[in-house]
Amino acid sequence: MKLALSLLGMSALLALSPVSASEMVGINMCYQKAGDDLEKINACLEKELKYIQAEHKDAVERVTVIAKSWDKPNHNRARWDKQMKANQAFESYVKRECDFIKNTTKGRRTQEANAQLACRINLYRMRTDMLENRFLSSARE
């Protein structure tokens, strides 16, 4: 029970970005139905990760469009290039950080996998929120 609650807390920790209500309801229901079953929690985490990765990809693509538009008057790719490098560095960080989390989690393989998935969810949410708040919210104004 304690493990399930901590995993739910980890995955919900940074749930500040806009999420479609129906998908979030589905994900929350998945966790409720999973209870303490680590395999079922794993399936819910996979579902949530797939969703947040799609949300992250969308935000990255929108920021890329903005970066290109900022570069256009200067006839270069300076901002676009830096944004692409930042995205690559972020992806590398997520892999390494969450592999570390997995390898330092004590328990069965499913517990380790769940810790890794929760780590990835939190980092993607954090980055998506940062992109939304820093670049996309000001672009709408």
Range of the domain at 9: 2-140
pTM tops 0.85, yes or no = no
Predicted confidence at residue 41, as pLDDT, reads 97
- How many domains does one find in the chain? 1
Average pLDDT per run of 10 along the chain, which is 141 residues long? 40 44 89 95 97 95 93 92 96 98 93 97 97 80 47
Q: How many other C-beta atoms lie within 10 A of the C-beta of residue 14?
A: 17
pLDDT digits (tens, 9 = 90+) for 109-126: 999 999 999 999 999 999
Predicted confidence at residue 21, as pLDDT, reads 72
Measured distance CA(81)–CA(60) in Å, rounded: 13
Please, where are the H alpha helices in the chain? 2-12, 21-34, 38-71, 78-104, 109-131, 137-140
Instruction: Output Rg (C-alpha) for the chain, integer angstroms.
Output: 17
Predicted confidence at residue 92, as pLDDT, reads 98
| DSSP notation for 42-73 | HHHHHHHHHHHHHHHHHHHHHHHHHHHHHHGG
Q: How many other C-beta atoms lie within 10 A of the C-beta of residue 112?
A: 16
Dihedral in degrees, nearest 10, Cα atoms 7, 8, 12, 18: 120
Measured distance CA(90)–CA(87) in Å, rounded: 5
